[in-house]
Amino acid sequence: MWIIVLFDLPTDTPEARLEYTQFRKGLLKDSFIMMQYSVYMRHCNSDENAMVHANRVRASLPADGEVRIIKITDQQFGRIEVYYGKKRRPTENAPSQLAFF
């Protein structure tokens, strides 16, 4: 399961820039990685785990702006088409899962 956070936050005042920075740093602290500008993603082992991280994002929402949270399966994520210019590149792989014995 992947959780993707897309956001469009104002940066027109010093206070708004601070909220933007705090929101972005919160995503990074919660192990999200930047997929594109203002688009961050994180792999989760289950839907329940994805809900935990979505709740963390909801708890840190800034006062203004727009934030969207999308959850997709590994299979759906693998069907994303990624292009750099006109050249297609492979989609990122899910991190390998740890096995405990």
CATH number of the domain that 27 lies in? Answer: 3.30.70.240
In this prediction, residue 84 carries a pLDDT of 84
Q: Both tokens of residue 82? A: 């990624």
99 lies in a domain? no
101 lies in a domain? no
Residue 33: pLDDT over 70:
yes
Q: Where is pLDDT greater, at 97 or 5? A: 5
64 lies in a domain? yes
Q: Where is pLDDT greater, at 65 or 98? A: 65
Sign of the alpha-carbon torsion through 52, 81, 35, 20: negative
**Residue 44: which domain range?**
2-89
12 lies in a domain? yes
Query: How many domains, in total, are found in the chain?
Result: 1
Tell me what percent of the residues of the chain surpass a pLDDT of 90.
Answer: 76
- Interatomic CA distance for residues 32 and 50, integer angstroms: 12
- Please state whether beta strands 2-8 and 66-72 pair in parallel, antiparallel, or not at all (unpaired): antiparallel
57 lies in a domain? yes
8 lies in a domain? yes
- What pTM was computed for the model? 0.84
30 lies in a domain? yes
In this prediction, residue 13 carries a pLDDT of 95
96 lies in a domain? no
Residue 97: pLDDT over 60:
no
Q: Which of 19-33, 37-51, 80-94 has the lowest mean pLDDT?
A: 80-94
